Structures are given as structure tokens and as C-alpha cells.
Chains A and B, each alone.
Chain A
């Protein structure tokens, strides 16, 4: 493994008196796929919100590519190369499929508003590039999001296609690190299988480093280089899928103390 792309050092976050993330240390190497698992309320999504800058940690350091990103505004962090999807879909529903991806290029484009209003040569060229980029990102999903569908509003998409568009939009920011929050939630088995393959392709063909929150253990088993288990905001296990899945603390967190004792 190469140098760490993302590094969390002793990160804590609490809301009121409730410690949601406690003393979390974590590293993610370039082009690695790391799964984050844990029961509901374990702090997985809060962990994503800390990395993307929605929350600021109470304590600790978050380094991206060796530089601290604590305190930066979310759009700055996104511009540096961290993109995410949302557990509850948050698409720009009244914009077209293509516009959803184009909107994500804001931070990587330069045209000022007067250049766009006057349609200067530079603005036109940039617009063509953005257009090509959006089509390329959408084409990653085979035929599902391209063709006539690019010009349709996002609200007309099926649930599974909305999930795909969320990923396409995140890749529209040209990130290095992709945070996927339950990409297979609500998908049927065939679609779940497709997502599993897709995450592998995102790394192999897209070159992204991927952190993924997932509840479906088949997906986790299929994609992960490494698995991190959280409970009550603390890391309780880390390592290969087999190692984490059989860890007594993980079993306890999911099934309760007695199940862990009897080994069931």
C-alpha cells in the first residue's frame, strides 16, 4: 500500500453530552477500498460528515493527502478531492440528469458570471469540456443514464437509477476519494450485485480511493480490501473481512453480549 490519502488522528465529536465519535484513528491508502460497518447509531454517517466538513471535530486532526482539512468549508474540501453520496438521496431533482453531473463541476471550472453571460470564447470552451465530462461520467453506468435520459429531470428516474446518478454526480467533482454512504440501500439482489461490481470498477477504471458505509455483508465481503467496524463512535475492529466478521466485539455489537458468549 502507498502513502495514506486520508488520515484521521484521534478525532472526537460529541453533540451535547453524547460522544458520537470518540478518539478515532484511521488511515486509508491510495486506491484502497475500505468498508465501514457498525450497527445503527454507531457514528458511521457522522464520520462521513466530519471528513466532508459538514461538522468540525471537537478534537483531533483530519489529513487529506498530508494536509489538514479541519475547519475548511465543505465546498473547499470537495474541491480538494473528497466527494460523497448520501444515504438518503439528495439529488437536484428538478435539474436534468446531465445537469446534476455538470453542477458538480463548479469547483473545477473557472468562468466568471460575466464571461458566461457574454458567452466568451473561454466560457464556451469550458462549457463544452463540462458537457463532455458529464457524458463520460454518466456513460460509466452503461446505458442506464445516457441517451434521451440525460435531458430528463432527475425526478423521473427510478430509485436504483437515482442511486447511480448520485455516484455519477460525486465522480463529476473529479475526486480522489469517494465516500459512498450505503450505496446498496433499498436495492434488489440483482442491483446489489451490480453495485458490488461497480464499486470495484470505480477503483480499477476510475482510479478512485473508496470509503464505503454498507450494511449488506455480501457487498462488504465482495468489495473490501479492509473493513473497519464502529460501535458507539469507537473503532472496535479493523482488518480483513473474515477477521472483522468473526471478531467477538463485532458480533457482540450486532447481536448482543450473550450471542457473542455462546458463539452463535
Chain B
């Protein structure tokens, strides 16, 4: 029996107290009870079923995008999540893989290698490029490595734009390497062991198989001497080196493996798109991959995949106004659930929001009947909202804009308040958000998409700063 006051007692305190609290606790405990194996196969099963649930090539194309993102995030996770190297040149490896595949499988140089040969070639070349571009990590860490590698990403795009007319002394005509701004079109479809991949669905399954294999490999690798070596070098490179870890070699290995996965993904991207263009590999993409990784939780394999699903699919879901509206109110509800505790308080606040809306609606209907005559556009949700949110017929734009400014002010005020005042202000703020949504945002899908996507990311990161599936970390005080 441990005595009170000894350190055993103190640390067992954590075991005695409940780790999860709040409404989601039972679900999280259940999630923990299911081991990684069943979780993996369940996920795989759902992904394998997805193409049979829809006939739309567009939906499957989104699925392909998700898979591409997931693979990219897994590769980046090695470099950033495990080895702790801030690599902003990562997208260059993806682009290099795509262009390399284009060179050996199109009419550009009239080379048409069989896919079984082209892919290993691309992966090897990408890994070698990774080794080369990883060299600065021997001397540079943190921000300095970041700006150096960002330069690589930028130079890659510049090169693809400009390497279409290279004058070589032994050639009469200039060499066209990248096709410049026009890129390289007409890339061969893949054919693996006699299996022609012609449909976007075929690529979906190819990507799913690769994703599964790579995820399992990385899962094993993470819990091995290599994985531990990476994480130890991230935590404290000097201590790792003095504990027999060849830190520099492991840094290069991380860069090479990340680059190999990115190159592989790039080659499949090139085949799916049957063309490569410089604008496919810009820094925006890099930021999205980072967003996926950080959102999911850097260092976590499942986190990287979940993050990729969110980042690649949410903007697509938001294209349809009805979906966007569901997501919007869903996100509002999620913010409430996450920020208001305990659940009794949450129930009171949720009830208050509903009552507040009904009262405001009745008041406005009584004072200014024209203020509620607008109809929220269609759908189940629209019908429900009709008697809750006010929607004027005239001056929607002006009122909506004013409300938007007010909403921003209210949101900023919320961040400064504590306790009951915050809870009370939360109620009209939510109502105001709904008003702004129905009057203005739903009319401007392209702007709203970005806004809502950003808001969802901010909300998720506020709720779980370590990422959805990440573990909280402490910084080394060195």
C-alpha cells in the first residue's frame, strides 16, 4: 500500500481519477477499448465500400484526393512529426515524383516505361533527391531549416515554369524538359501486372492498398529502433547522439523516406490527372498538407489520415449550400458541446438558444412583420429554421453586413469574458451567427466555403491543440 506523500501515491493519483470527462467520455473509452488492429480493418472496410456506395465519378475523385492527401500527410509525418524537422520543401518531392513519372511515361521524350519499372524508378529518384535536400538539416534546425527548405519548394515551381527551353551546345533545338506553364499532358495510364488502371475507381483502390501497406509499415517502424531514434533526435538531438543514435544519418533517412512516399504519391497523381502542371505543386498545397497533419495530430499515423480526410473532403462538402448549412449548424453545436461544461449547463444554454430565437422571432414578427417574411432556402433544416431565425425580405444585404460586423465584435468580446458573463453572451452570439449565415453567407458559397473551413480548423485546434488524435506534448526547456 503506497503511503500518502510518496511519489508512488502522487502518480497513481492519475490512475485513480477518470481520464475522460464530459459527454463524449463513453465514446472515447469505447474507442480506446477497441485495439489498433480492429480499428484499422474497420477503417479499411469502410474505405473499400465507399466506391460502391456512389455512382458519381466526382465523389470517387474526391476519395482519390483524400487518399493522395493521406499518403502525403503520412510521408510528412515522418519528417515533421517523428524526426521533428520543419521541412517546407516537402511539396517539391511530390512534384518531382509527378514530373519524373511524366518523363518516363509520356510522349514528352517518347519514353513509355512499364509501370512496374516506372514507379520504383520514381521512388528511388525521389528518395535520392530527399537525401540531397535533407543535407542542410545537418547544420540547420527549426526556423532556419524551414526557410531553406521553403526555398527548395519555391525553386521547384520556378524550375518547372522555366525549364521548357534549355539551350544545350550539342543540340540544335532547345530542350523542353518540363513543358513550362503548359506542363506535360498526355501521361500514360498505369498498368500493373497486366491490370489496366483506366477508371478513377481503379486508382482509388490502388491508393487504398498503398495507404494500407504504408500505414502498417510505418506503424511497425514507429515502434522500432528507427522510430525511437527519430523521436529521440526530435526531443533532444545532443542527448540522442550521446545515447548511441547517429542523429544525422537518421535525419537523412527521414527526409529520404518522406520524399519517397511523396514521390510515389506524385506519380499516381500524374497518372490520375494524365498530366502535370506547375500550379499543382504550389505552396498552398504544402500548407494544406501541414494543416492535415497538424489537425490530425503530428506524430500520429491515424491522425494524419483523419486530418487528410477532413482537409480534403470538407471544402468539397461545403460546395453544396445545403451541406454547408448542416456543417455550419453542426459546427455551432460542436463548439457549444466543447466549450460549455458540465452537461447540465450545456442543456440550459442549448435550451436558452432555442427559446431566445423563438422569442426574438415572435417579437420581430409583432413589431415589424416584414422582418420575418423571408424563407430560409429549402431542405429539412430550412423548414425547422423558418420559425426560429428572423429573415427580412428587404435590405438583407445591408442588415447581414451590419450583423456580420456585430458578430465579429461579439466573438472578440467572448474571448475576453469569463464565467457566467461569457455563457450569457454566448446565447445571442450564436443567434447572431445563425442570422449572418442565413442572410449573407449562404448567398456567397465561394467565400463562405473558405470562411467556414477556416472556422472549423480554428475550432478544432482550440478544442484539441495537440490535434484530433495527437498526444499532448511538453516542450524541452532547453
User: Which residues of A pack against B, CB within 8 Å?
Assistant: 52, 54, 73-75, 78-79, 83-84, 86, 88, 90-95, 99, 102-109, 111, 113, 116-119, 123, 126-127, 130, 143-144, 148-149, 152-153, 155-158, 160-161, 169-170, 172-173
Please give the distance in Å from B255's CB to the nearest CB on chain A.
13
21 A-B interface contacts by CB (under 8 A): A54-B242, A78-B241, A86-B239, A90-B238, A91-B235, A92-B232, A94-B474, A103-B245, A106-B225, A106-B245, A107-B244, A113-B221, A113-B253, A116-B221, A116-B226, A116-B227, A117-B221, A118-B220, A119-B220, A153-B471, A173-B244
Once the chains bind, are A73 and B246 in contact (CB under 8 Å)? yes
Once the chains bind, are B10 and A93 in contact (CB under 8 Å)? no
Please give the distance in Å from A87's CB to the nearest CB on chain B.
12
**A95 with B217, Cβ < 8 A, contacts A75-B241, A113-B253 known:** no
Query: With a CB–CB cut-off of 8 A, which chain A residues contact B476?
Result: 90, 93
Once the chains bind, are A93 and B224 in contact (CB under 8 Å)? no
- Further 5 A-B residue pairs, CB within 8 A, beyond A107-B243, A116-B221: A73-B241, A117-B217, A153-B471, A158-B10, A172-B243
Please give the distance in Å from A190's CB to the nearest CB on chain B.
11
Tell me the residues in window 411-456 of chain B with beta carbons closer than 8 Å to chain A beta carbons: none
How far, in whole Å, are A39 and B245 apart by their CA atoms in the complex? 32
What's the dominant secondary structure at chain B's contact region?
helix
How far, in whole Å, are A52 and B240 apart by their CA atoms in the complex? 13
Asked if B291 CB lies within 8 Å of chain A CBs, one says no
Query: With a CB–CB cut-off of 8 A, which chain A residues contact B110?
Result: none
**A84 with B220, Cβ < 8 A, contacts A75-B247, A90-B236 known:** no
Asked if B11 CB lies within 8 Å of chain A CBs, one says yes
How far, in whole Å, are A92 and B225 apart by their CA atoms in the complex? 14
Query: With a CB–CB cut-off of 8 A, which chain A residues contact B220?
Result: 116-119
Asked if B478 CB lies within 8 Å of chain A CBs, one says yes
One of B11, B12, B226, B471 near A113 (C-beta < 8 A): B226
How far, in whole Å, are A158 and B10 apart by their CA atoms in the complex? 9
Q: Which 3 A-B pairs have the closest CB atoms?
A: A107-B244, A116-B224, A92-B235
Query: With a CB–CB cut-off of 8 A, which chain A residues contact B247?
Result: 75
How far, in whole Å, are A126 and B247 apart by their CA atoms in the complex? 21
Which of A103, A107, A161 has the largest count of B CB atoms less than 10 A from its CB?
A: A103
Please give the distance in Å from B12's CB to the nearest CB on chain A.
8
Residue on A nearest B246 in the bound complex, by CB: A75
Query: With a CB–CB cut-off of 8 A, which chain A residues contact B11?
Result: 149, 152, 156-158
How far, in whole Å, are A89 and B113 apart by their CA atoms in the complex? 55
Asked if B53 CB lies within 8 Å of chain A CBs, one says no
How far, in whole Å, are A19 and B97 apart by their CA atoms in the complex? 53
Once the chains bind, are A99 and B246 in contact (CB under 8 Å)? no
Residue on A nearest B216 in the bound complex, by CB: A117
Query: With a CB–CB cut-off of 8 A, which chain A residues contact B253?
Result: 113
**A78 with B235, Cβ < 8 A, contacts A102-B228, A103-B229, A143-B8 known:** no
How far, in whole Å, are A157 and B10 apart by their CA atoms in the complex? 10
Once the chains bind, are B227 and A78 in contact (CB under 8 Å)? no
Which of A107, A111, A158, A160 has the largest count of B CB atoms less than 10 A from its CB?
A: A107
Once the chains bind, are A160 and B7 in contact (CB under 8 Å)? yes
Query: With a CB–CB cut-off of 8 A, which chain A residues contact B232?
Result: 92, 95, 103, 106
Once the chains bind, are B239 and A106 in contact (CB under 8 Å)? no
Please give the distance in Å from A196's CB to the nearest CB on chain B.
19
Query: With a CB–CB cut-off of 8 A, which chain B residues contact A119?
Result: 220
**A92 with B240, Cβ < 8 A, contacts A103-B231, A118-B217 known:** yes
Please give the distance in Å from A38's CB to the nearest CB on chain B.
22
How far, in whole Å, are A99 and B224 apart by their CA atoms in the complex? 10
One of B223, B228, B478 near A90 (C-beta < 8 A): B478
One of A54, A94, A109, A117 near B231 (C-beta < 8 A): A94
